[in-house]
Structure 1
Amino acid sequence: MTTLKNAWFIVRSDFRGDRLKLLWALLFAVVFMGYMAALAGMVLDDAMDRGEGRLLSDVLLVTIISMLGITFSRRNMKYLADDTYTRMLVYMRSLPVPAEVILCKRKLNTLFAFILNSTLYFGLIYTIGANIRSELPVSAYLAFALTWIGCGLVIAGIYILIEFSFSGKAYFLIMIIVMFLAIGIAGLVYLAGGNLLLASVTVSKEWGLLSPLMWGSLLLGIVSVQLFSRWTIHRLKSRDLV
């Protein structure tokens, strides 16, 4: 509990100290997620209506889901050129802050990013997609969204580890690899005659908030974040930042 309080104090101090950064992050998230939701909404709606673009619908889903835990700020987006994550870690190491607090702060940032990005993304898709609204009542759509949020949490656990373990360039390379692996899985499912979108829609429509797929993905996501967090703690304590 003390670790959580200290991490929350640091996060709150960051927001209070730079309100402009928070505003930019909100605006960037609205613009980016708004654009992606508009694109995905049309493709998903078309896939559910006429069955067209099923592979594209899956590729869009797995690609965007992998980004839900990312905070879209100017500082974070400069990680490739300025290695901002390593610089932040160097700064945090200079303070009397335990590794557990640093990690907890990162997990809180991930939680806030998921709340903001998921609300914008899935909310706009439901607003745009007439066929989605007709197929899925609110409770079923919530189950659908939570199913994919659970998948996003699985990837978020990986990102937390590599963010604290590697340089900005290596982080970018691993992100690309993870994204291509996710797209590859969607392609294999398509070649096997399946479709991730329609499968998740069918289960969500049939089970609603009792969906075993939803609870399974959320549980897997939470386990992923916790397991990778333990590994990250080890890396935080042993990584040489010089």
Structure 2
Amino acid sequence: MTLTFWGNVRRLLREELRRIGFGYLWQIVMMVYFAFFISLMARTMNSTEHSDYVLSNIMLDFMLMVSIGMMGFAFSRDYMKYWKNNRLSSKLKFYRSLPISTEEIVVSRLLTLIVTTIYSGIIYFASFYLISTEIRSAMQGWGYIGFALAWIGYSFTVGSFFIYVELGFKEKTYFWISCGAVPVFMAVPVILWLLDVHAVQSSIRIVKEYGVLLPAIALTVGVASLLIGKRIAVDKLNRRNMT
């Protein structure tokens, strides 16, 4: 990768961030809202009532998986009713008309995901910690930072998949795949419950018992997902018909 490569990536990254613009202000609102909503669920995650305990933990896992999985995608005009227009494809078509490679396009998009995830994650996890007394009593200091980093790694993994779909398919296909992901997000907490596991509770326990092990594994998987996602997204974009 040459200086020209990274120069083009930097220019594309600036353009992606410019297109988001005030969407980052809306992102603050959404992250604080999700943190507040999830904090309400966390109040009963240690309930002695079995039905309340099960339901609250399933819903807590579901909401964290969805909100954190999508935190790398800031609200922008590109995503406004994207299934009804060709705004995402038009942007890609314009990029491909420039003297830049598909790899530069994909890398800039993944860097946008990383920047947005870190930005959103700081707001999200800081708000969650400040609002939720249950989380503050369960974890403090470096333990909570490890918990947050573990979920950031998860966000990279999910985000890399959706970047691949965004770059590799047309808007309607992207929309239906996103819709299909919802029942998957709903099913995972239920399956974990059947296995007597809750994602949030378990991640808190593992971080408290094993320290940096969980965040290290999660971030490694997340970075590996980004690298693998880059390779297959470049191949898919090279073969994609933009007409």
TM-score w.r.t. length of structure 2: 0.90
- Cα deviation digits, residues 49-85 of structure 1 (max 9, x gap): 6573111111111111220111211322332222322
Q: Distance in 2 between matches of 1:124 and 1:186?
A: 23
2:42 is matched with 44
2:239 is matched with 238
Q: Is the 8 A contact 1:143 1:204 kept in 2?
A: yes
AA of the residue aligned to 2:13:
V
- 1:106 equivalent in alignment to 2:109: yes
Which deviates more, 5-14 or 59-68?
A: 5-14
Three-state SS of the structure 2 residue aligned to 1:47 is: coil
The number of residues matched between the two structures is 236
Q: Is the 8 A contact 1:4 1:104 kept in 2?
A: no
- Cα deviation digits, residues 6-60 of structure 1 (max 9, x gap): 21123225556x6xx51x2122101111211110122124314657311111111
Instruction: Write out aligned runs for 1:17-96 (5 A).
Output: 21-22=20-21, 24-48=22-46, 52=53, 53-96=56-99
Deviation at 1:100, TM superposition (A): 1.2
Distance 1:223 1:240, change over 3 A: same
Q: Distance in 1 between matches of 2:16 and 2:175?
A: 25
2:197 is matched with 194
Deviation at 1:184, TM superposition (A): 1.0
Q: Is the 8 A contact 1:163 1:171 kept in 2?
A: yes
Q: Is the 8 A contact 1:140 1:205 kept in 2?
A: yes
Q: Distance in 1 between matches of 2:34 and 2:17?
A: 26
Q: Distance in 1 between matches of 2:110 and 2:205?
A: 32
Q: Is the 8 A contact 2:153 2:221 kept in 1?
A: yes
TM-score w.r.t. length of structure 1: 0.91
2:159 is matched with 156
2:230 is matched with 229
1:217 is matched with 218
The answer for unaligned runs of 5 or more in structure 1 is none
1:172 is matched with 175
RMSD, aligned CA:
1.8
Three-state SS of the structure 2 residue aligned to 1:42 is: helix
1:127 is matched with 130
Three-state SS of the structure 2 residue aligned to 1:137 is: coil
Three-state SS of the structure 1 residue aligned to 2:238 is: helix
